[in-house]
Amino acid sequence: MNICVFGSGIEHIDNSYKEVGYELGKLIGKSKHTLVFGAGSIGMMGAVADGAASEGGYIIGILPEKLNETSTPSKHINEKIVTKTMHERKILMEDMADVFVICPGGFGTFEEIAEVISLKRLDYFSIPIIFLNTNDYYNKLFEMFEVCVSENFASERILKLYEVARTPKEVFEMIDGVIKRGS
């Protein structure tokens, strides 16, 4: 299974996020799933790749040309794919994903969240979306989703398009449920 992980690629975040990212990566590697991510070597994304590599996981890093020229990709990538644009990168990540796991992140992650929820809402795919809500990071966002529904900007269906886990272990319980259901 290809697990596409979105999240922070910023170095100066609290270590608790990196520790959870590392734990998530270890579970991906240990379970023999493939990590698909934005190829970063720092922050939560770097920690996820480090964790996956520590357990012999297969890692696909996808990054646009501009970032390939200006940043340092993770040294653990087994397959590096360079796209022309960020848009092409997201399309490829979406096409490769069997499940999305959304870790805490900034504006790039927010954009990815909006895109995958919108695509799922419009029935472009039925891929599971799981938020890893470390330190209750996304609680205010979930509240905003509820405001969006209560003010009639979205139907209540939007709130059923994703699941929320508090730990990497819970993420994998949800992924195991997906595997058992065969969806």
In a domain, residue 18? The reply is yes
The DSSP H or E segment spanning 171 is: helix 168-181
* pLDDT in the model for residue 34: 98
* Total Cβ atoms within 10 A of residue 33: 20
Q: Can you tell me whether residue 14 is helix, strand or coil?
A: coil
Boundaries of domain holding 109 = 6-128
Residue 183 has pLDDT above 70, yes or no: no
CA 104 distance to own-chain centroid:
9
Tokens of 71: 């940043």
In a domain, residue 96? The reply is yes
Look at the block and give the residue holding tokens 């949800």.
174
Tokens of 94: 């979406």
In a domain, residue 24? The reply is yes
Percent of the chain with pLDDT over 90: 91
Look at the block and give the residue holding tokens 């608790």.
16
Q: What is the mean pLDDT of residues 98-123?
A: 96
In a domain, residue 144? The reply is no
Q: In the chain, how many domains are there?
A: 1
CATH number for the domain that contains residue 14? 3.40.50.450
* pLDDT in the model for residue 26: 98
Residue 181 has pLDDT above 80, yes or no: no
In a domain, residue 136? The reply is no
In a domain, residue 119? The reply is yes
Tokens of 60: 């696909």
Residue 105 has pLDDT above 70, yes or no: yes
* pLDDT in the model for residue 182: 64
* pLDDT in the model for residue 69: 85
The DSSP H or E segment spanning 155 is: none
Query: What is this structure's pTM?
Result: 0.95
Convert the pLDDT of each residue in 21-69 to its tens digit.
Answer: 999 999 999 999 999 999 999 999 999 999 999 999 999 999 999 988 8
Provide the mean pLDDT of the chain: 95
Residue 180 has pLDDT above 90, yes or no: no
* pLDDT in the model for residue 176: 86
Distance between CA atoms of residues 90 and 181, nearest Å: 26
Q: What is the mean pLDDT of residues 79-107?
A: 96
* pLDDT in the model for residue 5: 98
Residue 172 has pLDDT above 90, yes or no: yes
Q: Which amino acid is at 178?
A: V
Percent of the chain with pLDDT over 70: 98
In a domain, residue 92? The reply is yes
In a domain, residue 72? The reply is yes
Q: Give the range among 12-16, 70-74, 93-97, 133-137 with minimum mean pLDDT.
A: 70-74
Tokens of 119: 């695509």
Look at the block and give the residue holding tokens 């922050």.
43
